[in-house]
């Protein structure tokens, strides 16, 4: 199922770019089953932090490797940057 909404689309695009996929990841795709690893997960987190101006937990993708599941728990994994 394709990504829905701007945040899912951003995550999907970052997954695709970092995992060298031709098409964006779907909303129910598992990051690690798509070929993601621990180093790439940190790059995903960094990319999201830069684009959303948030601080995200580095364990985010390990706890919730499927986009829709961690979006439903979003407040548990982020906080606004200091001074934002």
Domain spans, the chain: 5-80
The pLDDT of residue 56 is: 84
pLDDT along the chain (84 residues), means of 10: 78 88 85 93 91 84 80 61 56
The CATH number for 5-80, chosen from 1.20.140.10, 1.10.1200.10, 3.40.640.10, 3.20.20.80, is 1.10.1200.10
Q: How many CB atoms lie within 10 A of CB 74?
A: 13
Please state, in angstroms and rounded to a whole number, the distance separating the CA atoms of residues 83 and 64: 28
- Is the entire prediction scored with pTM above 0.95? no
d(CA 76, CA 17): 26
């Amino acid at each position: 199922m394709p990504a829905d909404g701007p945040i899912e689309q951003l995550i999907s695009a970052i997954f695709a770019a970092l995992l060298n996929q031709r098409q964006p990841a779907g909303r129910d795709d598992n990051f690690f089953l798509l070929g993601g690893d621990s180093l790439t997960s940190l790059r995903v987190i960094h990319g999201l932090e830069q684009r959303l101006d948030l601080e995200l937990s580095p364990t985010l993708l390990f706890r919730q490797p499927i986009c829709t599941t961690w979006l439903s728990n979003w407040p548990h994994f982020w906080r606004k940057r200091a001074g934002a």
